[in-house]
Structure 1
Amino acid sequence: MSDERPTWLESLGDAELDELDRFLRGHAGEDDLLLDGVHGLLTALAIGPEPAKPDEWLPEVLNAPFASEAEGERVLGLLAKLNDSIPAELEMDAYEPILGEVDREHGSALTAAGWCEGFSRGIDLRAPIWESRLGEDPELMELLTPIMALAVDEGVLSGDADFEKLSEAEYEECLAQIPQAVGAVAQYWRVHPPTERERTAGGGASASVFREQPRRRGGRWVH
């Protein structure tokens, strides 16, 4: 991994990503998000029907007190920078998901499990709107296809009883399609913003069609 990222992006450099990764790992509980999951969550909010303020998504990310005021300011600053980088990368067609890396029998491999878990939690924060639109417009579901396929394959989403696991080639193809899918969904919501009816749809709805109980991931993250 190199730090050769476009200078026009206010994105975190590798050293900053490492720092945030270490903090999240050091304070993560059993079902807490790691860096890949945080990136997935922030991505879902960035491309979704309505923006979310930090006080909505921070509880999904931080569940332990800071050791000091300085540490708090530093971590919150890194999270804010990560959050702000996503729209900028999408605008410049330079978005890349932060993915996990797990050990396999024949070496390491990329995994979207954590990213998809975070993405599903981001959708949950706007569940009524997503559920309403997904139930009415098959175009949105189609745009989400590679992300949905990965999420089902990793057990983040419920799949049909006869669902077959993706082959290695199919999995890698879906990974490669994440940036395109993310950009397409962002464009979809720009062109088809939520209606007032969707905004005021039944409170307390859950995007259970999109996620199951999250699973803990191991390994490392890569960008």
Structure 2
Amino acid sequence: MAERSDTPDTNTPPQPLLDDEQLDRLDDFLDSDQVDEDALDLISAHGFLVALAVAPSEVPPTQWLAELFQGEPRYVDDAERDEIITLLTRLRDNAVAVLEQGGLPELPFELTLGGEPAEDTPIGDWCAGFMEGVFSDESAWFQDDEEAAATLLLPFMLLSGLFDDEPDMAELAKDQARQESLVVQLPELVLDLYLHYRVPSETPKPKPRKKTPSKGKQR
């Protein structure tokens, strides 16, 4: 099990959660007429499934598949259905495996906004998908320590563009340099969330008892 640490191990490069061929297969399917037009695309689905890997509660597959697809896709046959669901589940499970070892997940985009507003980039789409994963069981994310959860989730909320109507968030969104800094840190921020929710804090070592001076030495 990964050990809680304030500084993630960044010596190891981020780990891909699926290979290029598997990502292309999912991309083609999610971009096809076989799914509802409101279904998540590959980038958003990636963020959604990484959030499920981090989540403090287990969301049933029937629930998260319905949310990802916004209904039931028009599969060609049972074999295609099994193939797609297996790939989606594998992406989530691989994220758990990487994070469990204290590794960083590879994200499917360059970690830079290039001067663009976050919501106009794949980064914004990924973070919006991540927040959809949070919304799947929002109470579980905030029930134990609402303040800590809000702090850890703030970068994802900010970059998603979903909360720009809130004055405080709109003000933060104007700081392009801050957003660029958060984008670079996204893999580490995901690991921070995983450690917060999935890895218990280290048990403090018991403090040694103070020795009571013997009566003969008391003044």
Structure 1 length-normalised TM: 0.67
Pairing 1:176–2:184 present: yes
The one of 166, 173, 195 equivalent to 1:159 is 166
Q: Distance in 1 between matches of 2:48 and 2:30?
A: 14
Question: Equivalent residue for 2:87?
Answer: 78
Tell me, yes or no, if the aligned pair for 2:45 and 2:68 is still in contact at 8 Å. yes
- Residue 205 of structure 1 corresponds to which residue in structure 2? none
Aligned to 1:38: 45
CA distance in 1, matches of 2:52, 2:77: 29
Q: Which amino acid aligns with 1:44?
A: A
Query: Offset of 1:110 from its aligned partner?
Result: 4.6
**2:16, 2:107 within 8 Å by CA — same for their partners in 1?**
no
Report the secondary structure of 1:118's partner residue. Answer: helix
Give the aligned length. 179
Q: 1:90 aligns with which of 92, 99, 113?
A: 99
Distance in structure 2 (CA, Å) of the matches to 1:96 and 1:148: 20
Query: Which residue of structure 2 lines up, in the alignment, with residue 138 of structure 1?
Result: 147
RMSD: 3.2
State the identity %.
29
State the alpha-carbon separation in 1 of the partners of residues 127 and 184 from structure 2. Answer: 14
Asked if 1 retains the 8 angstrom alpha-carbon contact of 2:142 and 2:149, the reply is: no
Question: What SS does structure 2 have at the residue aligned with 1:144?
Answer: helix
- Structure 2 residue 63 is the aligned partner of structure 1 residue 56: yes
**What corresponds to 1:199 in structure 2?**
none
CA contact (8 A) 1:41 1:122 kept: yes
Partner of residue 29, structure 1:
36
Separation in 1, partners of 2:192, 2:59: 20
* Post-superposition CA distance 1:199-221 (Å, at most 9, x none): xxxxxxxxxxxxxxxxxxxxxxx
Q: TM-score, normalised by structure 2?
A: 0.68
Q: State the alpha-carbon separation in 1 of the partners of residues 178 and 26 from structure 2.
A: 31
Gapped runs of 5+ residues in structure 2?
1-11, 202-219
